[in-house]
Amino acid sequence: MNVYQGIQGLVTSAISKGMINPQDEIYSRNQIMALLGLNDFSAEEPMQASIPDLLEELVAYAVQKEIISDLDSDKEILSSKIMNVLVPRPSEVTKLFYEKYNENPAEATSFFYELSRNSNYIQTKSIAKNINYVVETAYGDLDITINLSKPEKDPKQIAREREMKVSSNYPKCLLCVENEGYEGRVGHPPRSNHRIIPLELTEETWFLQYSPYVYYNEHCIVLSGEHRVMKINRSAFERLLEFVEKFPSYFIGSNADLPIVGGSILSHDHYQGGKYEFAMAKAEEAYSFALGDYPLIQASTLRWPLSVIRLRGNDREELANAAEMILEKWKNYSDPEVEIVAYSGDTRHNTITPIVRMRDGLFEMDLVLRNNRTSEEHPLGIFHPHADVHHIKKENIGLIEVMGLAVLPARLEQELKDIEAFLVGEPAEVKDYHLPWANELKAKYGANITRENAQEIIRKEAGMKFVRVLEDAGVYKQTEPGQIAFRRFTDAL
């Protein structure tokens, strides 16, 4: 590659996307040249390519010229620094965001989302590698993603990065506000090109950003300005309701605040939201019931594999009161007949995964009942994917899965192909943990499975396994005894 064409291509793309003013062209070009150790510039026609591709070319040039090593962390740091030249400073981004917000909140979030994509903070090229499809189920159309966004590093890279890893507690975690503009280091991703928007929620400072590896449209993260543990309480309900009032085109939800049923980061208080309608949002009502102390709040349960109470109303405070009452009842509720036990000694097991949206002018809050108790039979969790589905999904069932989007491990890309080959009689090495399932499928489909339809069948059956995963996580099963037990709890409300 002609490095000058690459630099000019990147600067020209940034101008065309409105990231920098044409007046800043020479300044921006000189700043990128400095990062690449160049002292002069040869005017060239700009290289025509996407921003991620242009960045890859410039980083490859830096490795070739030994400006940086070929460590993934060094390449990511340089890429982030280059893009930082082309992204407005945080104060300017915030100013533009709120100018647009005052006209229309949806325009503000669209602007910020596009900036986060164009700046390469959102890893669009990596995300494009994910395998995405929809499977039709009894609970509606569920989204399936085989996550290939974060490719595994080769052993040599891992060994070299381990040798060079720096011990530091700054920033304290990946969600802390101190990540904005942080150069990065081995073991902590670069955030030079990262921007966040300050918000006020329940008279506290919070921030809006997007996930670098978005799983759905405008997948945002709303994080506390204070590094503190996640907690589901009345204040959390109030913040979620206030957020959707400010951004009515978005839903927002929180992972549960206990291990096993919580998300991957419980050490920093945060929520996830976005502009997407999940299958759970479209789930049908199972039955409605009255909340004695809150007659203006509509309450119902859903036809959904997890156990969900849906509240609807137009009064934020009344909804927060009702949600708090349900949470406090649930935290102390036991029903041994269906294995729900609230406490083991002083250890609490019951909590809630809340999700909030605006619908038809009303606030709508889904409260998903969770329990993280373990047993000898289910050491990873009684209401966690059981051992017979671990070959497809073993990880925690967090907010995204609760709503109906499976995030499945990258290993399945090849492993499902191996099962396809096995089913059509081709040579294949099927993993031992998949063999019982593969034999079941062979017996089920027999000669009806062909090379042409094998992938479709396997993907559908993997989706059915995800349904099982969700059913395992439901505290009240979709059976007559399970639903009778659910009514016992709603009667107590």
Residues 32 and 159 in one domain: no
Is 284 part of a structural domain of the chain?
A: yes
Whether the Cβ atoms of residue 304 and residue 139 lie closer than 8 Å to each other: yes
pLDDT band at 152 (very low <50, low <70, confident <90, very high): low
Supply the pLDDT for residue 33. Answer: 97
pLDDT band at 162 (very low <50, low <70, confident <90, very high): confident
Supply the pLDDT for residue 316. Answer: 97
Is 135 part of a structural domain of the chain?
A: no
If you average pLDDT over residues 412-418, what whole number do you get?
Answer: 97
Element (H, E) at 117: helix 105-118
Residues 268 and 355 in one domain: yes
If you average pLDDT over residues 337-359, what whole number do you get?
Answer: 98
Residues 227 and 327 in one domain: yes
CA 196 to chain centre: 17
- What is the percentage of the chain residues whose pLDDT exceeds 90? 93
pLDDT tens string 224-253: 999 999 999 999 999 999 999 999 999 999
Residues 158 and 40 in one domain: no
Final residue of a structural domain among 64, 86, 108 = 86
Residues 317 and 223 in one domain: yes
Supply the pLDDT for residue 267. Answer: 94
Supply the pLDDT for residue 467. Answer: 98
Is 301 part of a structural domain of the chain?
A: yes
Supply the pLDDT for residue 140. Answer: 97
Supply the pLDDT for residue 168. Answer: 86
Residues 190 and 304 in one domain: yes
29-33, 107-111, 126-130, 158-162: least confidently modelled range: 158-162
If you average pLDDT over residues 21-26, what whole number do you get?
Answer: 97
Is 128 part of a structural domain of the chain?
A: no
For the cut 70, the answer to whether the pLDDT of residue 29 exceeds it is: yes
Please count the residues of the chain: 493
Supply the pLDDT for residue 466. Answer: 98
Residues 253 and 370 in one domain: yes
For the cut 90, the answer to whether the pLDDT of residue 153 exceeds it is: no
Final residue of a structural domain among 55, 86, 117 = 86
Is 123 part of a structural domain of the chain?
A: no
Supply the pLDDT for residue 186. Answer: 87
CA 212 to chain centre: 9
pLDDT band at 370 (very low <50, low <70, confident <90, very high): very high
For the cut 70, the answer to whether the pLDDT of residue 157 exceeds it is: no
If you average pLDDT over residues 117-124, what whole number do you get?
Answer: 96
Letter string b/e over residues 417-428, b meaning 16 or more CB atoms within 10 A of that residue's CB = ebbbbbbeeeee
If you average pLDDT over residues 329-346, what whole number do you get?
Answer: 97
Is 433 part of a structural domain of the chain?
A: no
Is 461 part of a structural domain of the chain?
A: no
Residues 335 and 262 in one domain: yes
Query: pTM of the predicted model, to two decimals?
Result: 0.95
For the cut 90, the answer to whether the pLDDT of residue 166 exceeds it is: no
Supply the pLDDT for residue 161. Answer: 66
Q: What is the largest CA-CA distance in the chain?
A: 77
Supply the pLDDT for residue 155. Answer: 66
Residues 163 and 257 in one domain: yes
Residues 332 and 186 in one domain: yes
Classify residue 19 by burial, with Cβ atoms within 10 Å: 0-12, 13-18, 19+. Answer: buried
Q: What is the mean pLDDT of the chain?
A: 95
Pick the residue with more confidence: 204 or 169?
A: 204
pLDDT band at 265 (very low <50, low <70, confident <90, very high): confident
pLDDT tens string 463-492: 999 999 999 999 999 999 999 999 999 999
Final residue of a structural domain among 65, 86, 107 = 86
Residue range of the domain that includes 70 = 1-86
Residues 70 and 165 in one domain: no
Q: What share of the chain is helix, strand, coil (3-state, %, to 5)?
A: 40, 20, 40
If you average pLDDT over residues 121-137, what whole number do you get?
Answer: 96
Is 104 part of a structural domain of the chain?
A: no
Residues 81 and 155 in one domain: no
pLDDT tens string 57-115: 999 999 999 999 999 999 999 999 999 999 999 999 999 999 999 999 999 999 999 99
pLDDT tens string 306-331: 999 999 999 999 999 999 999 999 99
Query: Residue 345, by phi and psi: left (phi above 0), alpha (psi -120 to 50) or beta?
Result: left
What number of CA atoms fall less than 13 Å from residue 58's CA on the CB side?
32
Number of domains in the chain: 2
